[in-house]
Structure 1
């Protein structure tokens, strides 16, 4: 049995210079549809052609090339984080909260690959 329970969503997150330009590229090249642009949070989200899988675009002035962070949805991030920390999983700082939108926490696998947990705070699902 798994240590934590994940839902049926995965967001694959990329660091980009301009979310709007990147969203257009993903639409034109791969047919992904923009779900929303959250300009106040520096975040855009796109629907892929796979149910439950979205692309997240986090805007940064100097994005790290080649980075990609899978984001796994969970209904109770605090509980999941606590269980993982008790199993000596390392997290990158505190849990981030964008009120009314999302709660996230970045953690690392044994090889230092970044992964993230996310809890939907919109009330619309995971």
Structure 2
């Protein structure tokens, strides 16, 4: 697609303040824009995450998954665990994965390629 300028993943959330605290404070990603409690944009490397309140009852863990590639896997997990994030670890040949959830049970994971 020649005209593609940006891409984002929209995450349906139930509480804007709680979601921003998770993505900005706990994960250390940059809050780029916030439009009150209507919408916010979080910048991750090569990915823009849109936080969008649901208009109805939120469906917990709606099969959305955001992957964040990291360089120092063990140190990153240790840092995030100190902030209360719990992980489920998996090693699959050439990649190490650490699955976790945001406050609305949306799925995220850390990944480190083994060279």
Query: Normalised by the size of structure 1, how large is the TM-score?
Result: 0.42
Give the strand-richer structure, 1 or 2.
2
Query: Normalised by the size of structure 2, how large is the TM-score?
Result: 0.46
